[in-house]
């Protein structure tokens, strides 16, 4: 059985944060990937990841990017790489 990919989107809910969440969802749907998305807006929780600038994308506990909106192809690469290590 495939495990869901654990994805966290860190940010206060600003325009860029929403954009990142939308792109991540789009990539997941287009490629039919099993994933759980959690949006974290608490400054304290975001700080626990050591992230200083948002939006940030965390996959499987690893911060993949912070302070920018990643391209869909980057997100897909991160998800595929994570899937490869999770199996």
Confidence at residue 3, expressed as pLDDT on a 0 to 100 scale: 82
Query: Cα(8)–Cα(41) distance, rounded to whole angstroms?
Result: 10
- Surface-to-core class of residue 74, CB atoms within 10 Å of its CB (0-12 exposed, 13-18 middle, 19+ buried): middle
pTM: 0.92
Confidence at residue 44, expressed as pLDDT on a 0 to 100 scale: 95
Residues 28-45 have pLDDT tens digits of 999 999 999 999 999 999
Q: Closest Cα partner for 57 from 38, 44, 42?
A: 38
């Amino acid at each position: 059985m495939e495990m869901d990919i654990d994805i966290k989107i860190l940010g206060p809910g600003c325009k860029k944060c929403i954009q990142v969440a939308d792109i991540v969802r789009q990539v997941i749907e287009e490629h039919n990937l099993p994933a759980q998305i959690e949006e974290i807006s608490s400054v304290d929780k975001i700080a626990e990841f050591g992230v200083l600038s948002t939006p940030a994308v965390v996959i499987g506990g690893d911060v993949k990017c912070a302070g920018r909106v990643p391209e869909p192809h980057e997100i897909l690469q991160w998800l595929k790489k994570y899937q490869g290590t999770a199996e």
